[in-house]
Amino acid sequence: MDFDFEVEFKDKAMDLVKKAAQNAVKLGKKGAKLAENAAVVLAKTVKAIKEEIKNDVEAVKQRDPAAKNGVEILLLYSGVHAIFAYRVSHKLYIGKHYFSARLVSQLAKFFTGIEIHPGATIGKGLFIDHGTGVVIGETAEIGDNCTLYQGVTLGGTGKDVGKRHPTLGNNVMVGSGAKVLGPFKIGDNSKIASNAVVLEEIPPDSTAVGIPARVVRRKGVKTDNMDQIHIPDPVSQELCKLEHRIAMLEKEIKG
């Protein structure tokens, strides 16, 4: 049999080159597809982040009469910085990168004085005014367009496990120094007065004040009609009784 070693070798080499070229084209196509997908995801993420930043800045513009312009808000409002850091740490937390998530939130706490646990769930347009001393727990949930002032705690009582922190509805305002403790809900459009300590559910459209907090207004109408100023004085009532008794006794003695 006539065997041309050179021709056979050439054919094999050509086959190999052809296959390699085909594989390279396939890989190139896959790479291009991956790059395209990554670009789409990146573009979506950048758009979402831009949208979130816009909402956060807009929330301050609408609710802080002292805010002058967007640049000032973006660069100088510690509440806004804390929320940006939260958005990053929350994404890391969802991706189960717990250490980096916590690292970001602790760095943000160092710079802003605001501690937001990366596991908390926060809606659009949160405004944290002044901010120092604000603490938001891991299982806290905050609806859209809420306002928190300095010194607010959305915390647990230490008695619950699992969901331990409160849920704020939409448009809720929590005044400076107020503590909302426990896994209950604060209804939409409700206001928590400064320095109140809320230990149970507050219905929507309510104003809650005091320690422990009680609802004093519902849709702007007083809920408690008791007059706390013109109340009977028990001491003067007793004195009146005694005066009356003495008069009776004097009358009896005089005959």
Ligand X SMILES: CC(C)(COP(=O)(O)OP(=O)(O)OC[C@H]1O[C@@H](n2cnc3c(N)ncnc32)[C@H](O)[C@@H]1OP(=O)(O)O)[C@@H](O)C(=O)NCCC(=O)NCCS
Name the site residues for ligand X (rule: CB under 6 A).
Answer: 130, 149, 175-176, 191, 193-195, 207, 209-210, 216-217, 222
Q: Least distance to ligand X from the beta carbon of 211, Å? A: 9
For the bound state, the minimum distance from the C-beta of residue 64 to ligand X, rounded and expressed in Å, comes to 10
Q: Residue 92 or residue 154: which is nearer to ligand X going by CB?
A: 154
CA distances from 126 to 28, 62, 152 (A): 45, 11, 13
Cα distance between the two ends of the chain: 161
Please say which residue, 55 or 195, places its beta carbon nearer to ligand X: 195
Which residue, judged by CB position, is nearest to ligand X in the bound state? 175
CB 135 within 8 A of CB 112: no
Tell me the CA distances in angstroms from 93 to 83, 88, 119, one per residue in order.
15, 9, 6
Tokens of 119: 């596991």
**What is the rounded CA–CA span in Å between residue 65 and residue 79?**
15
Question: Beta strands of the chain (E only): which ranges?
Answer: 115-116, 121-122, 127-128, 135-136, 141-142, 147-148, 153-155, 167-168, 173-174, 179-181, 185-186, 191-192, 197-198, 206-209, 214-218, 221-222
Q: For the CB of residue 208, give the shortest distance to ligand X in the complex, in Å.
A: 8
Instruction: Check: CB of residue 195 under 8 Å from CB of residue 178.
Output: yes
Of residues 49 and 67, the one with the C-beta less far from ligand X: 67
Question: Which CB sits closer to ligand X, 86 or 149?
Answer: 149
| Closer to ligand X by Cβ: residue 109 or 130 | 130
Least distance from ligand X to the Cβ atom of residue 60, Å: 14
Q: Is 235 helix (H, G, I), strand (E, B) or coil?
A: helix
Q: Which is nearer to ligand X, 12 or 219 (CB)?
A: 219
- State the nearest-atom distance from the C-beta of 176 to ligand X, in Å: 4
Rounded to the nearest whole angstrom, what is the least distance from the CB of residue 191 to ligand X in the complex?
4
